[in-house]
Structure 1
């Protein structure tokens, strides 16, 4: 796939099914992710892969996390939380590991990890896989972060769901750059 075609046509794919990416495909996705811009070469990223029965264990943790956060959560909400990780055959937890640095603030490190996640999404699309980056309340939940083994200097930036697209990919909307770009010519 041509690079520009890839970038112009990648879309989030929410309906995913088996098979999951092969180990070779996953290796390429992570190699692409690791090419993200990285001021200071801090490599502030970490990833967890979750597949197979581990998705059910993650779902159980998500339901526990919801119950801790919202003791009044309904049975339907708890069931929905349990089923979230089952929406794709593979999940990648994107983790920012922010490190103290005199020239690279934490915000730049989080941006680098976000670029790595985008690289992973592009590499999935380039290989004919579907993927969607989801955040939501579980991305910010300290109970779940601790259960997944994150340390105090780490934060979840989201969950990338990856699998085989089910159905036809949607066509991305045509956006006009002039709606988002303007020229600055200097102060008056």
Structure 2
């Protein structure tokens, strides 16, 4: 029989993302982030390709993204409310880690598996931050899919995409629990 790690399992069964708008200072330091990013980089990575990278963005960088959203939103046809909502997310944030999906050419590992690995890095980063006592939230939204905002605001290179933007900080208030999936509705048992 395996030896369970009850503390980790209890954490995973009760983990809860913190809404980004409730995350305030103090924010993780570079030293704090080094451990969190190290844990996130241990995500499954078929072929050891490291098809993702991290961009740590502070207040100034996030304000730059907000400016790009305000400029680009009308060109993309978004209404004032949609632009204001996304702009305020970045204007009010103090720290975020952008997980960039950066697939590489590989004859053995399909690109989709590399993209999944970037998603796994997002969840690993959220869980590492939460386990370290910080509040964390994985967001994306239309600005993270616009090529101009990705290039000018986030600093992505050609061929890269944003897998997720992880907002980090100190939680102002614990969020209420939310309904979770009904396992009977989402699980098929086949021969077990």
TM-score, normalisation: structure 2: 0.86
RMSD: 2.1
The match for 2:156 among 150, 154, 162 is 150
CA deviation vs aligned residue, 1:13-72 (integer Å, no higher than 9, x gap): 1111111112222111101111100000000111111112222112101212213312x7
Q: Aligned equivalents of 1:58 and 1:18: distance in 2? A: 19
Contact 2:102 2:160 in 1 (8 A): yes
Please state whether the residue corresponding to 1:168 is helix, strand or coil.
coil
Superposition map of 1:143-182 within 5 A: 143-147=148-152, 148-171=154-177, 173=179, 175-182=181-188
**What SS does the corresponding residue of 2:47 show, helix, strand or coil?**
helix
**Deviant stretches of 4+, over 3 Å:** 76-81, 172-179
Aligned equivalent of 1:98, options 96, 103, 117: 103
Q: 1:112 aligns with which of 104, 109, 117?
A: 117
2:3 — aligned with what? none
1:28 maps to what in 2?
Answer: 35
Q: Unaligned regions of 5+ residues in structure 2, if any? A: 1-5
State the 1:156 CA deviation: 0.8
Which of 29, 50, 54 is equivalent to 2:57? Answer: 50
- Tell me the distance in 2 between the aligned counterparts of 1:170 and 1:129: 17
What is the total number of aligned residue pairs between the two structures? 184
Q: Residue in 2 aligned with 1:184? A: 190
Distance 1:169 1:24, change over 3 A: farther
Give, in whole Å, the separation in 2 of the partners of 1:144 and 1:79. 15
- Structure 1 SS opposite 2:104: coil
Q: Counterpart of 1:66?
A: 73
Aligned to 1:126: 131
Question: What is the CA-CA distance between 1:172 and the residue it aligns to?
Answer: 5.0
Equivalent pair of 1:87/1:161 in contact (CA under 8 Å):
no
